[in-house]
Amino acid sequence: MVKTYHKGARAERELIRFFSERGFMVIRGAGSGTSGLSPDVLVFKGVKQYVIEAKAFESEHLSLDRDQFENLQQWNKVTGMETYIAWRRKKQKVEKGDESALAVRRSGVGMQYRWKFIPIVFFKENPKSFSISWELAEKYGKDMGELV
């Protein structure tokens, strides 16, 4: 559990750094990663305003529990802000010069991280959760560069 929390917090800090370095104002949600009442990150720059829930999972499917997802839907409805689930996976093969993978590349440990920002409308409702496959995330999700 602690390892998962630290992995998630690292992912959130990575997003905060990415957007901050590009002139955005960024707020990390209070209780992020624990309460589920506020999203992980809020991002602002003029008319570009995003609600982001960050997830760092290696599986082929990503699921969010019903309460957390419905809370994000409420944020979207009440604020009118674009709302994304940002899914980070590691060990993606990234071709040199592949700008679509403006995917925050990290070297040093031999890992490369790739983010997909998936609008909440593409998640499928299940009895206890909402989910999406990595295949659909790649198809419908946005790369980091598309948000700046």
C-alpha distances out from residue 148 to 34, 49, 68, Å = 28, 10, 26
Q: How far apart are CA 125 and CA 105, in angstroms?
A: 32
**57-78: average pLDDT:** 95
Mean pLDDT across the chain, nearest whole number? 85
**121-128: average pLDDT:** 96
Say if CB 61 and CB 89 are below 8 A apart.
no
What is the span of the domain harbouring residue 65?
A: 2-146
Domain count along the chain:
1
Give the model's pLDDT for residue 7.
Answer: 75
How much is the CA Rg of the chain, to the nearest whole Å? 15
- Token representation of residue 44: 């602002």
- What CATH number is given to the structural domain containing 48? 3.40.1350.10
Given a cut of 60, whether residue 25 has pLDDT beyond it is yes
Q: Identify residue 13 by its one-letter amino acid code.
A: R
Confidence class of residue 68 from pLDDT cuts 50, 70 and 90?
very high
Q: Which residue has the tokens 């295949």?
A: 135
C-alpha distances out from residue 44 to 8, 17, 18, 62, Å = 21, 13, 13, 26
